[in-house]
Amino acid sequence: MTTAQTGANVEIFARSPGVLEPEIVVTVPTFRRPRQILETLQSLIQQRTTRPFAVIVMENETNGGEGAHAAAPLFQDGSIDGLVLLAHDRGNCCAYNAGFETALAEFPGARAIAIIDDDELADPDWLEEMAACADRLAADIVGGPQIPIFADPEHEAWRTHPVFSPPYERTQKVEALYSSGNLYIRRGVLEAMPKPYLDLKFNFLGGGDSDFLSRARQKGFQLAWCAEAPVRETVPSRRLEADWIRARSLRNGVISTLVEKKKRAGERAGNLKVIAKSLALLCLSPLRGLRRYIATRSCSIGMYPIYVGLGRVLAEFGYMNEQYREPEKN
């Protein structure tokens, strides 16, 4: 298949016919999930909205490119407006950055960029609800729930685990958002933020999205949560194993420290404040964990604040739990 070069490390692999003038560009990073990317794209085809939108798929496994090959026909036959990219630089931050930059360059009239991952399915009103919420609350960035889908109904109890549960329950303006898995960003945010949008040191750790959102809030952009715009995330059984939960919990603590360090970088004694907070959270974590255990009778939920507190402190010693470095284990 012929590809069009767009930059040193990004190529256009496939494009829909015709000239597009979307209001919203939906970006979808993909890595070794050819079947799931098709399911994600089908959920986008079924969106109920009068707002014109285009889709950019960012294939980050460019050796085999299974996701790009699977998605390309839907764009070439006009089922979906938009294009498929080959983002040659590995890492989720590189993939997101490639999608953002291409969206701004290819669609200069687009007012916003939305994000959904390749293991997620959008509800039919997802995009309309996100855009309407941004307008209604005068928000620059809107996040929404990522509802876990478990293959085994017996695993439904995991829905309340902090690793899987959403941070908010109702639609409202908020001070913080943490994930790019379900996100709506006004164009002006990206135009105001420095490049690279997502810091590459989070490439295989994760948390580049949390850091980006923290920096955007510091710049004065308004954040909101839209409870009516869920996406449904497939959770493989691997992610219910104790070692994965432990690793993800520790990683969340590490990310929390790294993001807060950047946030306080210009403050006097900012680093000492981060260390003091990490130590305080670690000391309090057994009590917080006990309360969670009593409320849920779940050892895993009870251990969560302990692992997060430990991860925060370990980050001070250079510990980096890069779960995305070995994708087959994630």
pLDDT at residue 2, as a whole number: 41
> For residues 27, 30, 34 and 37, what is the CA-based torsion angle, rounded to 10 degrees?
-30
Domains of the chain, earliest start first: 4-238 (3.90.550.10), 243-329 (no CATH)
Task: Name the band, by pLDDT with cuts 50, 70 and 90, for residue 153.
Answer: confident
Mean pLDDT throughout 206-216?
Answer: 94
pLDDT at 4 over 60: no
Mean pLDDT throughout 167-183?
Answer: 96
Q: What is the mean pLDDT of the chain?
A: 92
Task: Name the band, by pLDDT with cuts 50, 70 and 90, for residue 1.
Answer: very low
d(CA 138, CA 119): 29
> 277 by DSSP, 3-state: which?
helix
Task: Name the band, by pLDDT with cuts 50, 70 and 90, for residue 48.
Answer: very high
pLDDT at residue 238, as a whole number: 87
pLDDT at 146 over 60: yes
Residue 41's nearest CA partner among 328, 33, 49 is: 33
pLDDT at 124 over 80: yes
pLDDT at residue 8, as a whole number: 57
Task: Name the pairing type of β-strands 10-15 and 4-7.
Answer: antiparallel
Task: Name the band, by pLDDT with cuts 50, 70 and 90, for residue 156.
Answer: confident
Mean pLDDT throughout 255-266?
Answer: 89
Radius of gyration of the CA atoms of the chain, in A? 20
- In sequence order, what DSSP letters do the residues of 50-106 get, joined into one string? SS-EEEEEEE--TTT-HHHHHHHHHHHTTSS-EEEEEE-S-SHHHHHHHHHHHHHHH
Q: Which two tokens stand for residue 305?
A: 């604040």
Residue 147's nearest CA partner among 176, 186, 112, 179 is: 179
Mean pLDDT throughout 9-19?
Answer: 89
pLDDT at 28 over 80: yes
User: Lowest-confidence range among 45-59, 112-126, 238-252?
Assistant: 238-252
Q: pTM for the complete prediction?
A: 0.92
User: Lowest-confidence range among 63-67, 70-74, 134-138, 153-157?
Assistant: 153-157
User: Lowest-confidence range among 1-10, 55-64, 108-117, 295-304?
Assistant: 1-10
